[in-house]
Amino acid sequence: MSVLTNITLKVWRQDGPDGQGRFESHQVPEISEEASLLEMLDIVNERLVEEGREAIVFDHDCREGICGTCSLMIDGQAHGPTKGAATCQVHMRVFSSGDEIVLEPWRADGFPLVKDLMVDRSAFDRIVEAGGFITSPTGGAPDANLIPIPKPVSDASMDAAACIGCGACVAACPNGAASLFTSAKLAHLNLLPQGQSEREKRTEAMVEMMDDHFGSCTNHGECESACPKEISIDNIALMNSDYLTSKFKNRKKLAR
């Protein structure tokens, strides 16, 4: 088993939202290249606790690339150098002995810092609460094959539903936009037959909630590149089209 030596970990430390932030360096004399980056952070934290110092605060949960809570900037890249992977899926083998690894929290106005590497991503929750659901009273659960859905449509919906809400799209965007996240949450419902009855209402509510918290999309494409699930920016085009349609249809309803 190969071992990396003399790794320097440069970590952002900040006591709270209003605290003075600073970088703090930690030496990692040796670490297995099979260890994940979060496991390296665990080792550093164990040492800090043993020394009577405060551990580095960072978000994590499943560590399987599913929950999206492991949100870090690694050497200036959202989730680090491994394409199509969340932070918890980044392993030390992508680095070399003697490297300096810089860890920072998401840098976006929509994600205010809580402490150290942890940010508040509840703005995403508010976008979903605004319309990311289906309220049609359908009674009991129907059979799965009761409504025929063309495979290209179901595939596109499932691809969009792969979004884990990590926020990498916002952190990577020069404008701090959340268009990829919002469009993914819209597409996985708006493409399916079950989501049609509330399509315009859902789109208008979620897009306008997004605009309250995040910047505007100007098609840089950084969001797609940083996304650990490689969600396509085609969803943003669909969202924009649906939003224009929803504003037109909803305005007509109000005029009646």
> DSSP assignment of 121-187, as one string?
-HHHHHHHHHH-S------SPPPTTSS---HHHHHHHHHHHT-----HHHHHSTT-B-HHHHHHHHH
Q: Do 126 and 93 share a structural domain?
A: no
What is the distance between the alpha carbons of residues 134 and 117, in angstroms, rounded to a whole number?
A: 34
**Between 145 and 52, residue with greater pLDDT:** 52
Report the domain count for the chain. Answer: 2
73 shares a domain with 92: yes
The pLDDT value given to residue 148: 87
One domain for residues 81 and 126: no
Phi, psi of 22 (to 5 degrees): -160, 160
Alpha carbon separation from 75 to 62, 118, 171, 227 (Å, rounded): 23, 17, 13, 16
Q: What is the pTM of this model?
A: 0.93
For the chain, the straight-line distance linking the first and the last C-alpha, in angstroms and rounded, comes to 72
One domain, residues 131 and 96: no
60 lies in the same domain as 135? no
Same domain, 51 and 108: yes
Q: Of 114, 144, 170, which marks where a domain is finished?
A: 114
**117 phi/psi in degrees, rounded to 5:** -100, 5
pLDDT of 248? 86
- Same domain membership, residue 28 and residue 13: yes
Tell me the residue range of the domain where 17 lies.
3-114
Say if residue 254's pLDDT is above 60: no
Q: Which of 99, 114, 129 is the last residue of a domain?
A: 114
Which of 46, 81, 114 is the endpoint of a domain?
Answer: 114
- Residue 144: predicted pLDDT: 67
pLDDT of the residue at 91: 96
Residues 250 and 137 in one domain: yes
**Of 204, 196, 183, 207, the residue nearest 253 (C-alpha):** 204
Q: Is pLDDT of 252 > 70?
A: no
Q: How confident is the model at residue 256 (pLDDT cuts 50, 70, 90)?
A: low
pLDDT at position 168: 98
Flag whether pLDDT at 200 surpasses 70. Answer: yes
Task: Decide if 250 contacts 207 (C-beta within 8 A).
Answer: no
Q: Residue 155 phi/psi, 5° resolution?
A: -65, -45
Residues 26 and 130 in one domain: no
**In this predicted structure, what is the pLDDT of residue 48?**
97
Q: How far apart are CA 109 and CA 117, in angstroms?
A: 15
What's the mean pLDDT when you consider all of the chain? 94
pLDDT for residue 138: 64
Q: At what angle do helices 122-131 and 199-213 cross, to 10 degrees?
A: 160
Distance CA 213, CA 200 (A): 21
In percent, the amount of the chain with pLDDT more than 70 equals 95
Domain co-membership, 228 together with 133: yes
pLDDT at 3 exceeding the cut of 70: yes
Which residues are CB-neighbours of 103 under 8 A, at least 6 positions away? 9, 10, 11, 12, 41, 72, 73, 74, 117
On whether both 101 and 22 belong to a single domain, the answer is yes
Residue 238 has pLDDT above 90, yes or no: yes
Q: Any bridge partners for residue 22, and if so which?
A: 13
Mean pLDDT of 30-56: 96
Cβ partners under 8 Å of residue 219, min gap 6: 233, 236
Beta pairing class for 3-13 and 22-32: antiparallel
CATH of the domain at 208: 1.10.1060.10
Whether the predicted pLDDT of 251 surpasses 90: no
Q: What does the pLDDT average to over 204-215?
A: 97
Domain with 63 in it: what CATH number?
3.10.20.30
Note whether 216 and 236 are same-domain residues.
Answer: yes
